Amino acid sequence: MLQKIVLCSLACSLTILSFAQKKQPISQPLVSHIFTADPSAHVFNGRIYIYPSHDIEAGIKENDLGDHFDMQDYHVLSMDSIGGKVTDHGVALDKKDIPWAGRQLWAPDAAYKNGVYYLYFPIKDKQDIFRIGVATSKSPTGPFKPEPLPMAGSYSIDPCVFQDPSGKAYLYFGGIWGGQLQHWNGGKHDPTAALRKPNETAILPRVAELTADMKSFKSPAKDLQLLDKNGKPFLESNNDKRFFEAAWMHQYKGKYYFSYSTGDTHNICYAIGDSPLGPFTYQGILLKPVQGWTNHHSIVQVKDKWYLFYHDTQLSGKTHLRNVKVTELKYNADGSIQTIEAYQ
């Protein structure tokens, strides 16, 4: 009987593998000369700019805290139109130019205000605690000059800046596991704090309004409420829906859309609210799992269409050497987003 089970299991595995190999990606990597991930896309002066992580082979053994993601710098990519030629503008910010930096330049984001471009980036400080820094430039491609210290009150990873039509700007951030968000409760750092248990309320992303100069928090960061359709918070056991990392905010027809990665279940999900400060009600899966462990995205309008930027590991087949991609994102008449399958 055991032999039959093993043979059946092997046959099933081979069938699944064969099916997976027949599937083709719906889009191709934007660049192949470097590895890129976590694309934050924006339209500045009619041109599309992409601010990704720059993956490298650091030679560090893989682990659940992501030590093998040891990025050293950022490149900025741009193109005139979706499907057009992609330009790599070279190094926009290097770890060695950040006075307080320790290691691991993870997923960044960018913003523009009053003639200045801002690059927001997470990196571990010299005490190995993730903080968020900000750097500025007169050009969307840099080079960016970092502030001498991290943003006061900042922590964890994956900053996303959203500028509301009202003129206010908000920074969304956070990531559990290697992103260290579980170490922060009530804005206080406790390196011994554990991840939530399955029956405990899931850890929430954070949001803070930015000051007029876009360089600091106007008030301390607070939890961003993410609720199910019954108005209840998710438990950690709801790991196919709860927040893990990769916060992104955009607005569509007067509603605010908060999207994020579920991490260990590999979905990109979204929730809708009436305010940039929430609460947000879960709606569903925006992008199903991609090849590779991580997923991290951005959503941007280009002329009269919307696009999803994301990554997978098509070029390398390795979890930590990823490539950014883009595909069209479509809404239904009721404002819901059509779920995207990355392979067909």
Residue 181 backbone phi and psi in degrees, to 5 = -60, -30
Burial bucket for residue 318 (CB in 10 Å: 0-12, 13-18, 19+): middle
Q: Which domains does the chain have, with CATH numbers?
A: 30-329 (2.115.10.20)
Q: For the chain, give me the number of helices (H) and strands (E)? A: 1, 23
| 245 included as an active-site residue | yes
- DSSP secondary structure of 247-266: EEEEEETTEEEEEEE-GGG-
pLDDT at 13: 37
The 3-class secondary structure across 38-89, one letter per residue, is EEEEEEECCEEEEEEEEECCCCCCCCCCCCCCCCCEEEEEEECCCCCCCEEE
User: Considering 200, 245, 312, 328, which one is annotated as catalytic?
Assistant: 245
| 228 included as an active-site residue | no
CA distances from 190 to 71, 155, 225 (A): 25, 12, 22
- Cα(48)–Cα(268) distance, rounded to whole angstroms? 22
- DSSP annotation of 320: T
What tokens were used for 318? Answer: 């390795």
Place of tokens 């009721």: 334
Task: Specify the pTM.
Answer: 0.93
CA distances from 167 to 97, 114, 209, 340 (A): 31, 12, 11, 32
pLDDT at 6: 33
Query: Measuring CA to CA, which residue among 285, 289, 287, 290 is closest to residue 323?
Result: 290
What tokens were used for 95? Answer: 């770890």
Counting as low any pLDDT under 70, the low residues of the chain are 1-22
pLDDT at 4: 34
pLDDT at 21: 55
